[in-house]
Amino acid sequence: MAQEWNIKSRGHVCTVCGKPLVDKSPVVSVLKELPDGYERWDCHPECWKSAPRNWEPFSSWEGVYLAPPPPDAKKEPLKKETADELLRHLIALEDPAMKNVVYVLAVMLERSKILVERDAREQADHTIIRVYEHRRTGESFVVLDPRLRLENLAEVQQQVVALLSGTKTLGEVSAAEERNETKQGSDQ
Ligand SMILES: [Zn+2]
């Protein structure tokens, strides 16, 4: 059985003849099913056609080979997630431990005029469901306002800043938020 999920990057030389693939030229990419996953082939179209083989591809497609960017471009640091990308990412994660982080990030985006608040509904437990709209894209974001106590706000803001600057990972922040939650729960 092959894996269901799998990511493979593209090769830079032809799997059949071993010569480099040519920038902006057609390339045939093939996934060959193996007992424990897939093997990826990237070939000159003529090599793929003429190569003798006794197996059928799991998948094959024709694309255009693009050479990797020159080395100096590669040295640039990875583009950091922007605040609104981070919000999309966090909402998609649906991690309950991150509820304070999600809310504070949304408020920061509202203050910087990226989001605008469109609606707010108080719930029975006095938390508030706030609906924000992205000014540029028109996306709507439904965010729980957990009614953070002021003394907790600064701490959560620091976590958001750490995520945006890349000094902390989502996993680290989630674990820290979970510990805070437990601590606050036992204080009450
Ligand atoms: Zn070739």
Give the chain's mean pLDDT: 83
Do residues 63 and 89 both lie within one domain? no
Is 46 a member of any domain?
yes
Is 9 a member of any domain?
no
User: How many CB atoms are located within 10 Å of the residue 169 CB?
Assistant: 11
- Chain centroid offset of residue 28 CA: 28
Residue 105: per-residue pLDDT: 93
Do residues 34 and 94 both lie within one domain? no
Do residues 49 and 109 both lie within one domain? no
Mean pLDDT is lowest, of 26-30, 32-36, 119-123, 180-184, for 180-184
Segment 1-57, tens digit of pLDDT: 333 455 566 788 999 999 999 999 998 988 788 887 778 898 999 999 999 999 998
Is 11 a member of any domain?
no
Is 117 a member of any domain?
yes
**How remote is the CA of residue 61 from the centroid of ligand 1, in Å?**
16
Check residues 157 and 69 and name the one with the higher pLDDT.
157
**How remote is the CA of residue 44 from the centroid of ligand 1, in Å?**
4
**How remote is the CA of residue 67 from the centroid of ligand 1, in Å?**
16
**How remote is the CA of residue 2 from the centroid of ligand 1, in Å?**
27
Do residues 144 and 110 both lie within one domain? yes
Beta-carbon contacts of residue 37 (< 8 Å; ≥ 6 apart):
2, 3, 6
pTM of the model: 0.56
Do residues 117 and 143 both lie within one domain? yes
Do residues 133 and 164 both lie within one domain? yes
**How remote is the CA of residue 172 from the centroid of ligand 1, in Å?**
46
Do residues 128 and 159 both lie within one domain? yes
What are the Cα distances from residue 120, in Å, to 38, 108, 111, 144? 49, 17, 16, 9
Do residues 89 and 49 both lie within one domain? no
**How remote is the CA of residue 15 from the centroid of ligand 1, in Å?**
7
Do residues 138 and 117 both lie within one domain? yes
> Which structural domain, as residue segments, surrounds residue 124?
83-187
Distance CA 146, CA 136 (A): 26
Do residues 96 and 150 both lie within one domain? yes
Do residues 121 and 43 both lie within one domain? no
Is 107 a member of any domain?
yes
Beta-carbon contacts of residue 70 (< 8 Å; ≥ 6 apart):
none
- The one-character DSSP state at 78 is P
Token pair of 148 as six digits: 């953070």
